[in-house]
Amino acid sequence: MNLQTLLLVIGSVAIVLTLIVGLIMKGHKSWLMTYLQNFCGAFYIFSGWVKAVDPMGMGFKIADYFTAFESVFSGTWFSFLSPLFPFLSQYQIGISMFVIIFEIVLGIMLIMGHRPKALSWMFFILLLFFTGLTGFTFLTGYVPPDVNFFQFGQWGAFKETNQQVTDCGCFGDFIKLKPKISFFKDLALMVPAIFFLFKHKSMHQLFSLRLRDMIVVASIVGLIIYCLSNFVWDIPHADFRPFKKNANVREQKAIEMQALADVDIIGWEFTNTKTGEIASIMNPDYMAIYKSYPKDEGWVVDQIKSEPTLVPSKISEFEIVDTDGYDKTEDILNDPNYAVMIVSYKLKGAGSEEVQSTYMDTIMKLDTLQTKDADGDFIIEKSIADIQQKNYTYTDYKWDESFADDYTSIIKPFTQKASADGYKTYAVVGGSGAEQLADLKEELGLGLDMYTADDILLKTIVRSNPGIVLWKDGKIVSKWHKKKLPSYEEVKQEFIK
């Protein structure tokens, strides 16, 4: 579904609600106001719901914004704000839930017409917040990589590759909108927002004030439980990400990689580093026109490429390597048998310390004379020349107790049984080195092959740390949250056939 189709659906729902309010409930004061209430309310409820399905994903998007803001404010008059954003990132999922619930409840209040004056201001303030985010995201496309956002005089031509956040997350993973579209969408919604501020007395109001208050409170409580159920106790019940159940990752990756390979260089873009002048030259005219540009002006050259036949998803970035740096992606995707992948986008540790230890090093001495053994074969006599005590230092990693327990009490019993039946079991971890993985495997007694991958990729695959994914022949058969993993016997009976 695209944005245009979604707006048509929401517009149709708003018409039905407006007819119900006006003709059946006799509650409207203005047909236009009632329609706008229902349209904006339905829009916000849907927009909030597709994010409530995956509040962890929304949290990751908020963290992206915080990272961008930290970079933007550092080195400016507002640099004192920079340390705030890493702090807020620690509470990204809590902030995500607040924004999601506020958005949905606001939509419910709009449809009911609950407390019109306060409602109008809340709608305007939330929309102002969203417009600021999407506007910032869009405008960073005009800011070259070596220029700060607030250096307005040094902005250049718009380039999507300059944008610090490439997707606003307005509709979660349901619809991916370019920042420009998101920004203009929010600007359009500003029209009814301002209308509500000046005409809030014309809003329809359904039910009694007491009943509306009860509905709002019940909605908040229900939504808190719903959001928590989609990442604390289980993975999202509706999966809009590319690594959903039954997704054929091998086939889709091949299609996307071919689409990227088919992209052609159709021209060249020249940027003058001194004047900021930009010139685009298409391939047929390249040689003739390029000769006329002075070579001492300092031109930066970028390629102009044709659009791919499809927009690549995160599947095109699916790449897994072992601790020695060897690519294991093809081995995993072409394995015809069932395999169990344990996903941890981040290892949770309680710190580490450098430990001094000793060992006894035995130095042997070889006799220069050869003798014969009982069978008559020549042997070289060896004897101990010295025994020395030597010191060495190693890093002792301390693993988070809860995280370690997830592996020893949930993951380990499951993978041991799968391995005993001949199925490959392995863990893929993000942002960790070989030494850490070896320590985790040894300390927890895991009989798993240890691989690494990009942490964002792993977050996309399964919203659980650790999470469990069952593969077969490049296809995701099923996946589970650590707290919802069935017994191996149940999985074997239902999925391994």
Instruction: Supply the pLDDT for residue 378.
Output: 60
More confident residue, 350 or 362: 362
pLDDT at 355 over 60: no
- Report the alpha-carbon distance of residue 305 to residue 312 in Å, rounded: 15
Q: 198 near 116, Cβ under 8 Å?
A: no
Mean pLDDT of 31-55: 95
Instruction: Supply the pLDDT for residue 359.
Output: 58
Q: Residue 223 is which amino acid?
A: L
Distances (CA, A) of 169 to 51, 65, 173, 445: 8, 10, 7, 40
pLDDT at 103 over 80: yes
Instruction: Supply the pLDDT for residue 145.
Output: 78
Mean pLDDT of 159-170: 81
pLDDT at 352 over 90: no
Mean pLDDT of 287-307: 63
Instruction: Supply the pLDDT for residue 335.
Output: 94
Instruction: Supply the pLDDT for residue 176.
Output: 85
pLDDT at 360 over 70: no
* pLDDT tens, residue by residue, 260-279: 888 777 777 766 666 666 66
pLDDT at 162 over 90: no
pLDDT at 393 over 90: no
pLDDT at 389 over 80: no
- The percent of residues above 90 in pLDDT, for the chain, comes to 53
- Spell out the residues 6+ positions from residue 210 whose beta carbon is closer than 8 angstroms to its own: none
Which of 55-64, 189-198, 358-367, 384-393 has the largest mean confidence? 189-198
Instruction: Supply the pLDDT for residue 191.
Output: 95
Average pLDDT, the chain: 86
One-letter-per-residue 3-state SS of the chain = CCHHHHHHHHHHHHHHHHHHHHHHCCCCCCHHHHHHHHHHHHHHHHHHHHHHCCHHHHHHHHHHHHHHHHHHHCCCCCHHHCCHHHHHHCCHHHHHHHHHHHHHHHHHHHHHCCCHHHHHHHHHHHHHHHHHHHHHHHHHHHCCCCCCCCCHHHCCCCCHHHCCCCCCCCECCCECCCHHHHHHHHHHHHHHHHHHHHHHHHCCCCCCHHHHHHHHHHHHHHHHHHHHHCCCCCCCCCCCCCCCCCCEHHHHHHHHHHHHHCCCEEEEEEEECCCCCEEEEEHHHHHHHHCCCCCCCCEEEEEEECCCCCCCCHHHHCCCEECCCCECHHHHHCCCCEEEEEEECCCCEEEEEEEEEEEEEEEEEEEEEEEECCCCCEEEEEEEEEEEEEEEEEEEEEECHHHHHHHHHHHHHHHHHHHHCCCEEEEEEECCCHHHHHHHHHHHCCCCEEEEECHHHHHHHCCCCCEEEEEECCEEEEEEEHHHCCCHHHHHHHCCC
Mean pLDDT of 323-338: 93
pLDDT at 353 over 80: no
pTM value is: 0.82
Write the CATH number of the domain with boundaries 316-348+400-494.
3.40.30.10
Instruction: Supply the pLDDT for residue 285.
Output: 66
Within 10 A of 30 (CB to CB), how many other CB atoms are there? Answer: 15
pLDDT at 5 over 80: yes
Mean pLDDT of 27-38: 93
Domain boundaries, the chain: 3-229, 264-305, 316-348+400-494, 359-391
Instruction: Supply the pLDDT for residue 474.
Output: 95
Least reliable range by pLDDT among 135-144, 190-199, 301-310, 462-471: 301-310
Q: What is the largest CA-CA distance in the chain?
A: 114
Instruction: Supply the pLDDT for residue 161.
Output: 79
Mean pLDDT of 380-388: 67
More confident residue, 208 or 312: 208
Instruction: Supply the pLDDT for residue 365.
Output: 66
